[in-house]
Amino acid sequence: MLRGQTKNLSSGIVSGGPSALGELAVGAPSSASISLVCEYLTNPFGSAEQARELLSQIEGRSVYDVELERGEFCFQIAFYFLACLAIAAHVDDPLLQKSCINRLYDRVRAFYARTDLKVKFSDFIVMAAERDQFVTGLRGGDICRVVITKLGLFDLVGMRRLYEYHDVIGLPNSDLRFYIVAVQLLLHYGGKSYHPAVVAVIADLISGNYNILSKVVLSNLCRTNTRDPEFEEPIYSLPLDPNMPDIINKQPNKIYLAGDYLLLLVENVGPIGAKGAVRFRYVLVVCNGRTKLPECFVTLENSASISNVLGVFEANGSHSNYGALTGRNVLKEFIDKGMHLIRHRFDLGEIEELSSQLLGVGKASPQCRQWHSIR
């Protein structure tokens, strides 16, 4: 059932550009939520160093730059498939499913449109059956002469691979589905079969990331809103104070998913009132997962008279002081104590760091901009 459902969703993506994507469903996800999923799947390793380490473990040797580029693309497409699978599994409303999938498709294409292709097209196609398919469709049959952009690679190769994943996955609740996806992913990457232990490791990686993407979908993408936003009064979770940290133009260094909340860590922030004497070395922003509005700030404050003072701007607008941090690792101490203070105020549940590379959520959120627009 899920296999056919996700394939239909994918078919809707492949067959149309922006003009053919259909109207958005009521309660469609916010831009910030879609950005979160897009950044997650387009940066599957976290950093180039981690990518090299994982791919080197797969190969049992150091990998070349060509292999690094190909591996990143292969994992991006696999994670894109996982995101579509998570949406199909957890979003019941067909219109909302289509909205989620189509908007994610737009974001992913925009990502590839601004990404350069660093190696030859032929270096991406190492799986024998896939290579034969492209050679058959080319005039002259010389795949090495193909010149293409990264967006063209996604449209031509990436979407084809999505179909392959749909075709090989089998039953939606099968214990082997992620193992089968891992086998196919490794074929796309290396063009060969790998040791079952390697496949099992990649299958565990795929399963874990599917669970994370599912949590993001359930917590952020698919909140339905039955009220007409044109007639809805603005929601201000915090009373505005010029002494509060100004996060609007700051990208988060870390992002955490915590139940119905998003926690953003930003650094080196000034107050909303430009002439404020206090600077915030670190700020933990507690954002409502539905509205994306800040509900609390935990801060590490510095000025001419204080150094590394832990504070909290409460939900009611008041400010609490919890003394100075004096440990050697100030950032770790701030995060540990900050999380403790937040838990006393909010029902966070399990806290999970999504990625140190998921930048732009706080900056991109239109609700956060709206919150600051009255300053």
Which residue stretches of 60-176 are H helix?
A: 65-90, 94-113, 128-137, 150-153, 159-168
pLDDT at 263: 92
**Token pair belonging to 93:** 């409303």
| pTM, entire model | 0.56
pLDDT, tens digit only, all 375 positions of the chain: 323 333 333 333 333 332 222 233 333 445 556 777 888 888 888 788 889 999 999 999 999 999 999 999 999 999 999 999 988 888 888 888 888 888 889 889 999 999 888 888 888 889 988 888 777 766 556 667 776 899 989 998 999 999 889 888 866 666 688 999 999 999 999 999 999 999 999 999 999 888 888 877 776 544 433 333 333 333 346 777 778 888 876 788 888 988 888 899 999 988 877 566 789 999 999 988 777 788 899 999 998 888 999 999 988 878 888 999 988 899 999 999 999 999 988 888 888 887 544 443 444 344 444 444 433
d(CA 12, CA 155): 14
pLDDT at 298: 96
pLDDT at 354: 78
pLDDT at 213: 84
Q: Considering only CA atoms, which of 245, 264, 257 is closest in space to residue 218?
A: 257
Q: How far apart are the first and last CA of the chain?
A: 51
pLDDT at 161: 93
The one-character DSSP state at 358 is: -
d(CA 200, CA 237): 45
The residues spanned by each domain of the chain are: 2-221, 254-372
C-alpha dist (Å) from residue 157 to 82, 185, 201: 17, 13, 25
Phi, psi for residue 51 in degrees, rounded to 5: -65, -45
Instruction: Please state the separation of Cα 4 from the chain's center in Å.
Output: 25
Phi, psi for residue 33 in degrees, rounded to 5: -65, -45
CB count in 10 Å sphere of residue 133? 13
